Structure 1
Amino acid sequence: MFELKKSGDKFHFVLKAANGQVILSSQMYASKASAMNGIESVKTNSGKDSMYEKKTAANGKFHFNVKATNGQIIGSSQMYASESGVSTGIESVKKNAPGASIKEVE
């Protein structure tokens, strides 16, 4: 499920797996419409390997970004202890995003 949230005058979303764990957190958007476009981009393009960018943080942990076709980062994962964790996270986005519902939360 995607949860769309308002923070101050900006919007962002998270994608949660069936167990409620957050698997992707978006960037901040200036408008609700822009955040909805970000959700639609993830839903439509999540099956494309080219959307995912695997990264290693300065502390040695691993994470990934989901990028739009224009190269802009749509969302980022949590930190993982291993590269295999990143791969599992990407597979979870691929599995959960396409059919995910959207819920607006306070």
Structure 2
Amino acid sequence: MAAKYHLKKASDGQFHFNLHASNGEVVISSELYKAKTSAIEGIESVRRNSQREGAFELKEASNGKHYFVLKATNGQVVGQSQMYGSRASAENGVASVKRYAPDAGISDDS
């Protein structure tokens, strides 16, 4: 299976996407967007910013789990990862986004 962005419509009518690695695992999820075109622009932002130095920020949640966010050049978060048990696992997640984000196709499930 190839890496792919899955664009979906939420129950409230808004749009969001997940980037799935080639193994099917979700490696980054977007915020909700009011318009489908905005969600597609969000995918393009992930593609661009995933290759930008300093765009990823590793964080630790209050429960001790680790996650990361991907920020655009204006500082806005364009995607967030799942929670990982270790910092090393979160770093591997960042590497997956860097590897898959630029060339992944889009599956429009909206």
TM-score by length of 1: 0.96
1:51 lines up with 2:68 in the alignment = no
- Of 20, 26, 29, the residue aligned with 1:22 is 26
Q: Which residues of structure 1 form unaligned runs of 5+?
A: none
Q: Which residues of structure 2 form unaligned runs of 5+?
A: none
- Of 69, 72, 81, the residue aligned with 1:68 is 72
SS in 1 for 2:46: helix
1:91 lines up with 2:95 in the alignment = yes
**Residue in structure 1 matched with residue 44 of structure 2 by the alignment:** 40
- Give the aligned residue type for 2:68: F
* 2: CA distance, partners of 1:40 / 1:94: 13
The alpha-carbon deviation at position 49 of structure 1 amounts to: 3.1
**After the TM superposition, which parts of structure 1 deviate over 6 Å for at least 4 consecutive aligned residues?**
none
Show CA shifts across 1:32-73 (max 9, x none). 111111100111221123111111000000000011111111
* 2: CA distance, partners of 1:4 / 1:51: 22
- Of 25, 31, 35, the residue aligned with 2:35 is 31
- Give the aligned residue type for 1:92: S
How many percent identity over aligned positions?
48
SS in 2 for 1:50: coil
**Residue in structure 1 matched with residue 15 of structure 2 by the alignment:** 11
How many corresponding residue pairs?
A: 106
- Give the aligned residue type for 2:5: F
- Of 77, 80, 103, the residue aligned with 2:81 is 77
* 2: CA distance, partners of 1:29 / 1:71: 17
